[in-house]
Amino acid sequence: MTPGATAPDLMFLRPDGTAVRLSAVLDRDFLLLVFLRHLA
């Protein structure tokens, strides 16, 4: 995904296992997505 591209409305899982769409967390002008390698 490069600058200028539009991200699909991808789905994630909350810790309780329920699904959440990317669009549902866009509550400000910008959203920083931090993809972790691992939790440690």
Partner 1 sequence: MDAARDRFAAVGCSVLVISQARPEVLTLYLGRRRWTVPVVCDPDRETYRAFGLERTGWSTFARPKVVWGYFRKMLGGHGVEMPYAGEDVLQLGGDFVLDRRRQVVFAYPSADPTDRPTVAALLEAVRTAPSAGTMPAEPPPRSHPC
- State the nearest-atom distance from the C-beta of 11 to partner 1, in Å: 8
- State the nearest-atom distance from the C-beta of 38 to partner 1, in Å: 4
SS3 (DSSP) at 24: helix
- State the nearest-atom distance from the C-beta of 20 to partner 1, in Å: 6
Classify each residue of 5-27 as buried b or exposed e, where b means 16 or more C-beta atoms within 10 Å of its C-beta. eeeeeeeeeeeeeeeeeeeeeee
Give the residues lining the site for partner 1 (CB under 8 A): 1-17, 20, 22-23, 25-40
